[in-house]
Amino acid sequence: MPPNPPVMTKSILKVLNGEALDQPPVWLMRQAGRYLPEYREVRSGAKSFIDFCLTPDKATEVTLQPIRRFNFDAAILFADILLIPMTLGRKVWFETGEGPKLDPLSADDIAGLEIGDVEAILGPVGQTVANLSVALPAETALIGFAGSPWTVATYMIEGGGSKDRWNARRMYWQYPQAMARLLDLIADATIRYLVMQARAGAEVLKLFDSWAEGLPPPMFEDMVIRPTRRIVDGLRAAGITCPVIGFPKGAGPNYIGYAERSGVTALALDHGLNTQWALDNLPERMPLQGQLDPAALRAGGEALDAEIDRIISAFRGRPHIFNLGHGITPDVPVAHVEQLVRKIRGE
């Protein structure tokens, strides 16, 4: 196979370098997933979801599947944001119909946490990245990722998903030192994890802060911006120069401070953020990603075409990567994704 082309020939990397393209590059969050029958076939052969993520051959295959079908401009590593708690000695499992489960973490528990051998525990993920760096088409960028510390911490404290992250929020106010220690441990483990991904071949890194919504400004600063900055600074100190996309979902006006102080290269925008507000208030040359409502993709038809047109028109002249405002849902017909790609590319 011929070597990958110079970095700036890949459209997503051009955008992340500040270039506005006439046709935005496109990829979709959760593009490797349950809406694809070939994904479901591979998944059925795994003992558990964690085993699935940590089996390089399977993770490589499902990462490649949407690239084969849709020729997206980037592939995103197939893994999960909740692998990091394993490096802190916490058990993680997934229950059918309920999602991720962990033993709830108390303030006292935090005092005893230590970072284990990240590179050994999550080494299979590094192998998946290395496999992909060879297997992907030359024009396709490879995105590595991790969960942001606040979001990972909420799952660890709550013992799983939570509508309002009540226990995590309360811990921030009641036990600030314990909470700060937890965020620092997660950030430092994440630095090592992302360094491993970058050295294995990831060209872009993304940080998912899925639970950034509804935080008052002091808490957003401490729980979202500060640990994100710690990760970005740690990557740069390790010699990793990959662009970093930050996604503080639901941050609203807090996006401004995140853009100014987190150190990320680009911002992923959720579909609930007012597009014109984003254009008026976020740095003019900062690359932006988004912002299609996943429900519009599920609906398809003329409504989908119209919303794609609106988003492309709104971001024209700005460095922009087309994506959803959250992950693709399992009930999306494959034909709707094909429609989206054709529409964006004018086919």
pLDDT for 259-272, tens place per residue? 999 999 999 999 99
Above 50 in pLDDT, residue 4?
Answer: no
Mean pLDDT, the chain, whole residue set: 96
Above 50 in pLDDT, residue 5?
Answer: no
For the question of residue 80 being annotated catalytic, the response is: yes
One-letter amino acid of 180: A
DSSP letter string over 159-228? Answer: TB--SS-HHHHHHHHH-HHHHHHHHHHHHHHHHHHHHHHHHHT-SEEEEEETT-TT--HHHHIIIIIHHH
Confidence category of residue 3, pLDDT binned at 50, 70, 90:
very low
For the question of residue 172 being annotated catalytic, the response is: no
The pLDDT score that the predictor gives to residue 227 is 98
In this predicted model, what pLDDT tens digit does every residue of 119-150 receive, in sequence order?
999 999 999 999 999 999 999 999 999 999 99
28: left (phi over 0), alpha (psi -120 to 50) or beta: beta
For the question of residue 155 being annotated catalytic, the response is: yes
* Rounded average pLDDT over 43-69: 97
Above 70 in pLDDT, residue 2?
Answer: no
Confidence category of residue 8, pLDDT binned at 50, 70, 90:
low
State in words which class domain 7-345 has: alpha beta
Among 34, 69, 181, 345, the active-site one is 34
Helix-helix angle 149-158:176-200, to 10 degrees = 120
Among 43, 69, 199, 310, the active-site one is 43
The DSSP 8-state label assigned to residue 2 in this structure reads: P
* Rounded average pLDDT over 177-187: 98
Q: Which residues pair with 246 in a beta bridge?
A: 207, 267
Domain boundary assignment for the chain: 7-345
* Contact residues for 274 (Cβ-Cβ < 8 A; gap 6+): none
What is the SS3 assignment for 22? coil
Among 39, 73, 80, 270, the active-site one is 80
Proportion of the chain above pLDDT 70, given as a percent: 98
DSSP letter string over 249-314? Answer: TT-TTHHHHHHHHS--SEEE--TTS-HHHHHHHS-TTS-EE--B-HHHHHH-HHHHHHHHHHHHHH
Among 30, 169, 230, 318, the active-site one is 30
In this predicted model, what pLDDT tens digit does every residue of 272-323 receive, in sequence order?
999 999 999 999 999 999 999 999 999 999 999 999 999 999 999 999 999 9
In this predicted model, what pLDDT tens digit does every residue of 221-258 receive, in sequence order?
999 999 999 999 999 999 999 999 999 999 999 999 99
For the question of residue 30 being annotated catalytic, the response is: yes
* Rounded average pLDDT over 48-73: 97
Element (DSSP H or E) covering residue 93: strand 92-95
The pLDDT score that the predictor gives to residue 96 is 80
Among 35, 39, 73, 155, the active-site one is 155
The pLDDT score that the predictor gives to residue 259 is 98
Question: What is the distance between the terminal CA atoms of the chain, rounded to a whole angstrom?
Answer: 28
